[in-house]
A and B are shown apart, each in its own frame.
Chain A
C-alpha cells in the first residue's frame, strides 16, 4: 500500500497570500509528481521530479513552483494566490526502475482562493 501524505486537505484563503502545499512519501521513491484536477476534467501534470535537486515543469502551465531538497518531500508553492488557482492538487510518487512503474497518489489538497 502506498504511503503518500498531503497537507492541508482543504485550504480556503484570500487572494495574494503565499501558499505551500505539502507532500511527503515514506516509500523512498525517487520520482514524484504534482497534478491539477478540476471537476469533470482529466488530471494534468504540472510538475515532476526524478530525485533530489531535480524539478521539471509538466504539460500544463502553472504559476506554482516546486522544490526537492529531500527524497521524501516535494512541496508546491504559490507565491501570490489568485482565484484562478482554485483547484484540487494531487501529489503522486513512483519507484525508479528500468520499466515504468505505476504512480501512487495522495488524497489531494482542495484549494479555494477567494
Chain B
C-alpha cells in the first residue's frame, strides 16, 4: 500500500467551476502537507504549505488538512484554463524533511 494515495484523473471541468483535489495518507506521523502544481515539461511549483490540521487560503486556492481521517484537499475556486496542470500532494513527518508524494491528479479546465 502506498503511503500517499491520489486519484490520477484526468479531471475535466468547465471554466469557473470549483475544483476539489484530494489525497489520503496512511502514516499518522505526517505533520507537513504540501500541494505542488506541475505544468507539462516543467518542475513542480509550490502552491500551498500547511502544518498539522486546518485550512489555509491563498487567493483562489484553499488547502485543507483533516488529520483525524488522514485526508488532505485542495480547492480551486473560479477555475481558469491556466489552472490546467498536474497537482501533486506531498507530506513529511516532523523529524524528517523527506517528502512522500502522491502520483498527481491531472486537471483540465476548458473554456
Contacts and interface: CB of A to CB of B under 8 A. Distances in A.
Instruction: Verify that A and B bind, or say they do not.
Output: yes
A2 B100 CA distance: 21
B41 interface: yes
Contacts of A40: 8, 103
Nearest to B93: A100
Interface residues of B, number: 27
Contacts of B101: 42-43
Label chain A's interface by main secondary structure: loop
A105 B42 CA distance: 9
B18 interface: no
B34 to A, nearest CB: 6
B38 to A, nearest CB: 8
Contacts of B41: 107-108, 110
Contacts of B110: none
A103 B41 CA distance: 19
A104 B32 contact: no
Contacts of B49: 102
Nearest to B103: A42
B97 interface: yes
A110 B94 CA distance: 32
Interface in B56-111: 88, 90, 92, 94, 97-104
Given A42-B4, A59-B98, A105-B36, 5 more contacts: A42-B2, A42-B101, A99-B51, A100-B32, A100-B94
Interface of A: 2, 6, 31, 40-43, 45, 48, 58-59, 90, 94, 99-108, 110
24 contacts: A2-B46, A6-B43, A31-B97, A40-B8, A40-B103, A42-B88, A42-B104, A43-B90, A43-B99, A43-B101, A45-B98, A48-B98, A94-B97, A101-B97, A102-B46, A102-B49, A103-B46, A103-B97, A103-B99, A105-B43, A107-B41, A108-B42, A108-B43, A110-B41
